[in-house]
Structure 1
Amino acid sequence: MNGSMGFAPDVTVRSRGFTIGAVGAGMIMAECHLAAYREAGFRVGAIASRTLGNAQKVAERWDIPKVHATPEELIADPAVEILDLAFPPDQQPRLIRLALQQPQIKGILAQKPLALSLDEARALRDEAAAAGKVLSVNQNMRYDQSMRVLKQILDRGELGQPVIATIEMRAIPHWQTFLAGYDRLTLSNMSVHHLDVLRFLFGDPSEIYTAARQDPRTGFPHQDGITISTLKFPSGVIALSMEDVWSGPREEGFDSDIYIKWRVEGTDGVAQGTIGWPHGQPSTLRYASKTATGGKWVEPSWETHWFPHAFIGVMEQLQHAIETGSAPALSVADNVKTMALVEAGYRSIDEHRAVRLDEIEI
């Protein structure tokens, strides 16, 4: 069985009326944000980057009418209503604060991690609220098609009471060069996807235990190359998130087995699938439910991908929040809770123990 089966793997675009100013011209902006915005019919009015030449190339590719010499110049542009940031997390907070001072900017889409520390993330949350601006954080895995359909299955109760969930990553991310200068690597920059999506699926966990090791296959210093986190939730759900971000030898001719897999078991059913990003394919989901499928495995399908199509949902939810005056689905207040979970994971690594989330101030 295939087709959508009544599920909504992708969002319906409700709002698209604001002018976006894009800051950044690297892979995530050029290949994901702007590709998604073109498909959705979002209006990108300007772009800037740390390197003017890169911004000019991306502007030409995506027909962006205005190129600013600096991010600061773009932020001051009176035509820019939404600031879309794809910038390193050590430099992002300064640009967010500058945007909060601009009367014409109604909303900001920031990258994750929002900042390099939980303290900085809390401060940005409070400053955005004081400025009356909508600050949203690009936790785009919530808009992966398999995660959206899984959430719909859970909300329908088709798996019964959720019992255990796992996310297993053996894939090589696009490590930006700036990460080599940070002391935190995988938990902050890759596990943050999985920890956030587990919150999206099951609510806020009560505790986390994270084990990590340096990865001898990663070519720059770091403390957390490979991470394994176990989360417990008040509902009783236990979840495991594992990130192996090198995935075997990478020498030419070595056949690495690269994948991201997930599985959720409940009292009435099981769902499992893959994230298609490492291979440029759609994500997958198959599930069997005693109540909804007669115990038989069924497989909803779709043609869209996590990259770039999830970025339609991320920008759409921000525009809709601005248009309606409602809270964005990816609010900065909610993201601070994900940042707190990451911080608890690092405390767990440092102290070799499970850390309760109520130990972390949010």
Structure 2
Amino acid sequence: MRGVSARSSDQEANLPEALDFTPDAPIRSRAFRIGCVGSGFIMADVHLAAYHSAGFPVAAIASRSRDKAAAVAERWGIPVVHDTPEQLIADERVQILDIAYPPDQQPALIHLALRQPHIRAILAQKPLALDLATAEALEAECRAAGKILSVNQNMRFDQSMRVLKEILDRGSLGTPVLATIEMRAIPHWQPFLRDYGRLTLLNMSIHHLDVLRFLFGEVEEIYTGVHADPRTDFAHKDGICASTLTFRSGVMAVSLEDVWSGPRAPGYTGDIYIKWRVEGTEGVAQGTIGWPDYPDGSPSTLRYSSTIATGGDWVQPRWSTTWFPDAFAGVMEQVQYALESGTAPLLSGTDNLRTMALVEAAYRSVEEHRAVKLAEFGY
């Protein structure tokens, strides 16, 4: 169900404006046919589940394994299965190319798509590339080709993040002062990551760094410390990561990615969660992200107290949709609407370069043991 549901207390019932939010993005366009590259978990269980629910037209699918792509096509009623991603990209029915491939292989698919006149937009996975320089080159090529490039920074469409953004935009918390994101969860690292030399900052922290930009604007500088994850059995530096960010607006933020989160052993009761909190001069908002218990699918949560909007009482807007998979409808919708309206998507490739620059600055901070200004990268 989309939209905010029942109030949680008598006080909340008397504060209708303080609970009136849009946790899920409205669907404004379904006009353009999608070609999906990839048939792994993120495409089969997340993208396509969201697209089916939202009514987006999926015209074709391909992956490294035709048999696997065919099984996903049968599951979701996709009419065409191609033998290879290259054949799908050449299919003139495809107007939006939706890529769910490893980031080292993604640039080649984008290059090929740019040469196809029928492909009008590309939805790329995050990270757009393994480093900032490659991402900048891809974004420039897409602009030169007149194609829309969007990057799947889907945490911006998590319901609690969308509602928090509305609260901030209304000024209900006054001037933001401090924000924290605390992740204590154990990822299932994909096998291809072991060869990159970059792990958590590029593939997990990037969610938090991007959503902090979405909430608070551009970053002045970042300081990042890392510790190897004892459980990860391949060489890496950035396992557990802690970053302190200073925004140009003066907001300070701390982002912690604890991918260790204690032992994983028979009989050991873990404590897995993602929590966030924002403190302002006129109020506080805090909540949780529902992703760690996927596939059970708990909704993310938010509660806030404001001297301006709630009379100092704590109130809790509620919804039943979840980040995985429901928020991914918003990601595709902003591409569809960008094509229909001729406007830039929220998750534009140009905007994503600032997130990639932030990741690059975090790696430089780790290597040089200092705070790094984004101006060092021209952002």
TM-score by length of 2: 0.94
The secondary structure found in structure 1 opposite 2:186 is: coil
**Unmatched segments (≥5 aa) in structure 2:** 1-6
Cα displacement string for residues 65-90 of structure 1 (whole angstroms, at most 9, x for unaligned residues): 11100000000001001000000000
Name segments (4+ residues, structure 1) moved above 3 Å.
1-4
Equivalent positions of 1:41-190 (< 5 A) are: 41-190=55-204
Partner residue in 2 for 1:247: 261
Partner residue in 2 for 1:321: 338
How far the C-alpha of 1:252 sits from its partner, in A, is 2.2
Partner residue in 1 for 2:355: 338
- 1:291 matches 2:308: yes
**Unmatched segments (≥5 aa) in structure 1:** none
Cα displacement string for residues 181-219 of structure 1 (whole angstroms, at most 9, x for unaligned residues): 110000000000000000000001100000001111112
Superposed CA RMSD: 1.0
One-letter amino acid of the counterpart of residue 339, structure 1: M
Partner residue in 1 for 2:3: none
- 1:360 matches 2:374: no
Cα displacement string for residues 272-304 of structure 1 (whole angstroms, at most 9, x for unaligned residues): 000001112000000000111010100000000
One-letter amino acid of the counterpart of residue 277, structure 2: R
- 1:302 matches 2:316: no
Equivalent pairs, count:
362
The secondary structure found in structure 1 opposite 2:149 is: strand
Distance 2:365 2:72 in 1: 41
8 Å contact from structure 2 (residues 224, 244) kept in 1: yes
One-letter amino acid of the counterpart of residue 17, structure 1: A
The secondary structure found in structure 1 opposite 2:234 is: coil
The secondary structure found in structure 2 opposite 1:309 is: helix
One-letter amino acid of the counterpart of residue 85, structure 2: P
Equivalent positions of 1:231-270 (< 5 A) are: 231-270=245-284
- 1:312 matches 2:329: yes
Distance 1:337 1:95 in 2: 22
The secondary structure found in structure 2 opposite 1:253 is: coil
One-letter amino acid of the counterpart of residue 337, structure 1: R
Distance 1:136 1:252 in 2: 42
One-letter amino acid of the counterpart of residue 207, structure 1: E
The secondary structure found in structure 2 opposite 1:206 is: strand
Partner residue in 2 for 1:28: 42
Partner residue in 1 for 2:4: none
Distance 2:124 2:75 in 1: 23
How far the C-alpha of 1:173 sits from its partner, in A, is 2.2
Distance 1:291 1:347 in 2: 41
Query: Identity over aligned residues, as a percent?
Result: 68
